[in-house]
A and B are shown apart, each in its own frame.
Chain A
């Protein structure tokens, strides 16, 4: 992070240019905002910007992905691990529409991103010109804000606003559409960061009265439970959360995107919530007398059947987005505030306590879950390799010190369940959207955002083929990501549902797969196929030790299921550990 002083200096350096093109103005804006990496893909309408990029390649690194969707996912992962906004360029028409899945994904997962799309020259807008799409209209439902710029002189103001909106309050993606003529037009340039908008006020004064009440409720609770979400990571409240937990002695459960906000090995950590989460925190949600939800939004994957969710508990909801409060679950105390600020205020007000017998209930659940699920998943003594043992092995080999990226499906749920996170922002996954194809490009962005970290991506054989072209990006920029294909020969998660709820009628879920190692070889990425358990350990070690990128194609038990599970329509306390046909 650059200091305020440095930031001011940068702004002064880039300021005061006369007669520069809109394209140059745009790039100077980005530099002023501290951007150094852009993910994108060129095309006709955005050529003036790409041309100017050549003159700025000492300050701005452009990563050419192999598809705009890849650029969007990579930029999102970059943002998630680095804490800086992700920046993404695309041309008009198909370039812009190819971003949509990536934008929607970032929107649902509240990731700060600035998308720059080019637009046909302003005189042609509305005429169905070549490669004209109404990208403002198309992206409106999935952006926090969007805007079109048709004059070079408007670029700096709009970009300043874009950064302010994307990064403040509940973050999200913003899209700026710049016409080709505005990129070429000359303007005089002065940049001033946006720090105020009349209509958008992300700084909510601390709701002290509500927080005082919260402290009283917390101090009187007998079976309290903390639910920590992505908001904890976004507001940088990991330390405060830990302090709060250790002082109050209250057990913590996390959401999928809240993973890594609290160390998985901590004595008060109880696991991850939701459909394939851990047994204890799901079951005991319906036993707690007080739920303290921090920076999470009671997604249906977390709550299961909402009419049977935590009816016995009083609920305190700390959340920066007011529209999320009382949206899915009616709460007893709303605290519309930033998680970090709220926790800082609460810590001195709460009593030092411990809840031995309550915490023991979680440990008993852990034991049950271990016996019924975890043991056979992580330490199977026969049969084919299981996803859980692979993830657990990587977790142990890296001591939890790695950035874990996943695709979507069984691979994702298994990674979330069995990796032991030690550091904040070390888990990158597609939560709200569940976008298959997210994993591979996201691993590229994660590695660029955290070059100091081992980056391992777990991908299914299905999802890998959705954005497989990004192997080209890995080759091009020699990105040393470690790719683990958990290859079960199926669209595994859908197959699991077919097995459980559709009488085992496997409609279009079995895959005929190519030889992934040979494909990787074509991209100069070394790799290995593993199907024998005896080779698993050494293969993973070799992969982790590799200097460059590496791919392991691991043959996994074909019809393995992710358990436990809250079946659709079931409540959190009806979570099943064993599944019978």
Chain B
């Protein structure tokens, strides 16, 4: 089975060490994390980790179950790239001299859909949102003009699936109630 890119959306409680627990599972199976993003989610108090990994379908199924088994993990969704809408964001710090020569800056902003964030006599900071390849293309393009710094975020992703986390949570809740009722004073 060939390797493929998967996006794991891991919804969890904000328990200290949760990221460590997740990486332990991936490390044991020799899976590299291509990118990682941590944030809040649409559900209050629920944390969202978005991980991109490259592995086989069989392995992603096994590790996602092992991650979901972690006590503080609520739900794991595994998606192939075509099942999600995703973006990454990158910042580029480029020498002002370089960019101001000719109409480079205009070209960059127009054709690469980049945004100017800050301008100083020494440097200009650009921002670009897009997919990894687009971000790399812009980097390649800027390289001759002197890139002083470059930084790219992990993936942020929204799934195309219709069922949202909330409805899973409700279902899990109901299954759990079965026990709670008896113990409630």
Q: Which residues of A contact B (CB under 8 A)?
A: 8, 136-137, 140-141, 144-148, 165, 193, 195-201, 203-205, 321-323, 326-327
Contact = CB atoms under 8 A, between A and B. Distances in A.
Contacts of B179: 195-196, 203
Contacts of B32: none
Nearest to A195: B183
Given A165-B71, A193-B183, A203 B20 contact: no
Contact of A141 (B24, B175, B176, B180): B24
B69 interface: yes
Given A322-B65, A326-B61, A198 B173 contact: yes
B169 A198 contact: yes
Given A204-B175, A323-B69, 18 more contacts: A140-B17, A140-B24, A141-B24, A141-B28, A144-B71, A145-B72, A146-B17, A195-B183, A198-B74, A198-B169, A198-B173, A200-B71, A201-B172, A322-B65, A323-B65, A326-B61, A326-B62, A327-B65
Contacts of A196: 176-177, 179-180
Contacts of A195: 179-180, 182-184
Nearest to A330: B58
Nearest to B69: A323
B66 interface: yes
Contact of A199 (B16, B24, B73): B73
B167 to A, nearest CB: 14
Given A140-B21, A141-B24, A203 B71 contact: no
A146 B69 CA distance: 14
Interface residues of B, number: 32
Nearest to B74: A199
B12 to A, nearest CB: 7
B16 A148 contact: yes
B24 A327 contact: no
A195 B61 CA distance: 29
Interface in B71-127: 71-74
B34 interface: no
A166 B61 CA distance: 25
Contacts, number: 66
Given A193-B183, A323-B69, A140 B175 contact: no
A136 B65 contact: no
B175 to A, nearest CB: 5
A313 B65 CA distance: 25
B9 to A, nearest CB: 15
A141 B185 CA distance: 36
A197 B24 CA distance: 23
A148 B182 CA distance: 30
Contacts of A193: 183
Across the A-B interface, the 6 shortest Cβ-Cβ residue pairs? A323-B65, A195-B183, A145-B71, A323-B69, A323-B66, A196-B180
B182 to A, nearest CB: 8
B13 interface: yes
A323 B176 contact: no
Contacts of B184: 195
A140 B20 contact: yes
Given A193-B183, A197-B71, A203 B62 contact: no
B24 A323 contact: no
Given A195-B179, A196-B180, A203-B176, A137 B65 contact: no
B168 to A, nearest CB: 11
Contacts of B21: 140
A193 B185 CA distance: 11
B12 A199 contact: yes
Interface in B1-52: 12-13, 15-17, 20-21, 24, 28
B169 A327 contact: no
A205 B173 contact: no
A373 B80 CA distance: 54
A205 B65 contact: no
Indicate the member of B65, B73, B177, B182 with the most A CB atoms within 10 Å: B65
14 contacts: A137-B17, A140-B17, A140-B21, A140-B24, A195-B182, A195-B183, A196-B180, A198-B172, A199-B12, A199-B13, A199-B73, A200-B72, A203-B179, A326-B62
Given A196-B176, A196-B180, A199-B71, A136 B62 contact: no
